[in-house]
Amino acid sequence: MPHATVYDVANKAEVSISTVSRVLNAHGSVSEGTRARVLSAIDELGFVPKAEAAALARRAGSRIGVLAPFFTYPSFVERLRGVANALSGSRCELVIYNVDSSARRDDYLASLPVARRLDGLIVMALPFDQVAARRLVAHHLETVLIEFSEEPFSSIRIDDRAGGRLAAEHLLEKGHRRCAFVGDCDLPDYAVRTSDWRLEGFRQALQAAGVELPEAYIALAPHSRENARLSAHSLMELPDPPTAIFVASDHQAVGVLKAARERGLVVPRDVAVLGFDDLDIANYIGLTTIRQPLEESGRVAVELLLARLADPSRPAQRVRFPLTLVARETV
């Protein structure tokens, strides 16, 4: 329908104009059924919000959105820094959308392509289904994914299981046989489960070497340095405490190191600690860790996105970054 208006959408979906507006603005108060009807009407009518169309016409540059959970986590901050640095000096405006629930993720993925507020989108660590993928494609919102893959988009990933195996192999080489793991539990259903995958790889490599990972040596808690500190204390109170602890992130490893200090243990003589990520702080505290290129992943995501914006015919790319072990003072 040429020049469809918000009234046309409201009539077709049998809702009020304010309900259409709430859908376009990813407002959480709209039911799933109503939202689906509004989006279907928008698709059928080819509706483009008038104000957004005018804003697009006035803009001299592009708007790049980043959709991410846990955006205050240090690993996400470093990744966002890579995005921001890659856009520095360009005519692109960066817009960040924080996701704190699966409903919020779905609202953004439904509304952002339709509202046309963005020229490109980077989705970090937020798996979504083919329905959302088709909407992004249908409304020509160029998208790049980080930490997961979905056709037909470009993506950037690491192998978390391989990282867990690398951690186990290093601890085994150092002579450790009582190896423990500190990681995450209660992970939300809208985020990728990196802690679980790192534990899986860690367990596989230990078992391949004939070393078991007892359940008592696996300490899972909601992600925080304080919870990791408490988990480490629990491990160190066992009758046969571990001599090495692999931690699912450097952020949590800081808590584990604090627990060791509080118990008067010397690292790595009494207990070795190995992290994951290689955050900036890891170098300052001498943390041995598995390095993933966080900042580089953000930069490459921008490069892939801008390349597709310049030439939409470019094929999607699947980038797999290698992981490396950075040996410092804690193992």
- Taking the alpha carbons at both ends of the chain, their separation in whole angstroms is 66
pLDDT one-digit tens code per residue, 110-166: 889 887 789 999 999 999 999 899 989 988 999 999 999 999 999 999 999 999 999
Long-range own/partner contacts, residues 138-141 (CB < 8 A, 24 or more apart): 138/43, 138/113, 139/113, 139/114, 140/113, 140/312, 141/112, 141/113, 141/116
Task: Return the SS3 of 114.
Answer: helix
Question: What is the model's pLDDT at position 263?
Answer: 97
Farthest-apart Cα atoms in the chain, separation: 74
pLDDT classification of 39: cutoffs 50, 70, 90: confident
What lies within 8 Å, CB to CB, of 33 at 6+ separation is none
Question: What is the model's pLDDT at position 54?
Answer: 46
Helix (H) or strand (E) holding 168: helix 160-173
DSSP string, 185-229: -S--TTS--HHHHHHHHHHHHHHHTT----GGGEEEESSSHHHHH
- Answer whether residue 55 shows pLDDT above 60: no
pLDDT one-digit tens code per residue, 152-178: 999 999 999 999 999 999 999 999 999
Question: What is the model's pLDDT at position 116?
Answer: 78
CATH fold match for the domains 56-157+297-321 and 160-291: yes
The architecture that CATH gives domain 56-157+297-321 is 3-Layer(aba) Sandwich (3.40)
| Mean pLDDT (whole number) for 17-35 | 77
- Answer whether residue 192 shows pLDDT above 60: yes
| Mean pLDDT (whole number) for 17-43 | 79
pLDDT one-digit tens code per residue, 212-248: 999 999 999 999 999 999 999 999 999 999 999 999 9
- Answer whether residue 23 shows pLDDT above 60: yes
What is the CATH topology of the domain spanning 1-47? 434 Repressor (Amino-terminal Domain) (1.10.260)
- Answer whether residue 46 shows pLDDT above 90: no
- CB hemisphere CA count around 77 (13 angstroms): 8
pLDDT one-digit tens code per residue, 257-269: 999 999 999 999 9
Percent of the chain's residues with pLDDT above 70 = 94
- Answer whether residue 85 shows pLDDT above 50: yes
Please give the structure tokens belonging to residue 309.
Answer: 């914006």
The architecture that CATH gives domain 160-291 is 3-Layer(aba) Sandwich (3.40)
- Domain positions in the chain: 1-47, 56-157+297-321, 160-291
Mean pLDDT of the chain: 91
Strand bridging mode 288-291 / 324-326: antiparallel
| Mean pLDDT (whole number) for 308-319 | 92
- Answer whether residue 58 shows pLDDT above 50: no
- Answer whether residue 186 shows pLDDT above 90: no
Please give the structure tokens belonging to residue 247.
Answer: 């931690």
Question: What is the model's pLDDT at position 163?
Answer: 98
Amino acid at residue number 193:
R
Question: What is the model's pLDDT at position 148?
Answer: 93
Q: What phi-psi label fits residue 143: left (phi over 0), alpha (psi between -120 and 50 degrees) or beta?
A: beta
CB–CB of 157/127 below 8 Å?
A: no
Question: What is the model's pLDDT at position 59?
Answer: 54
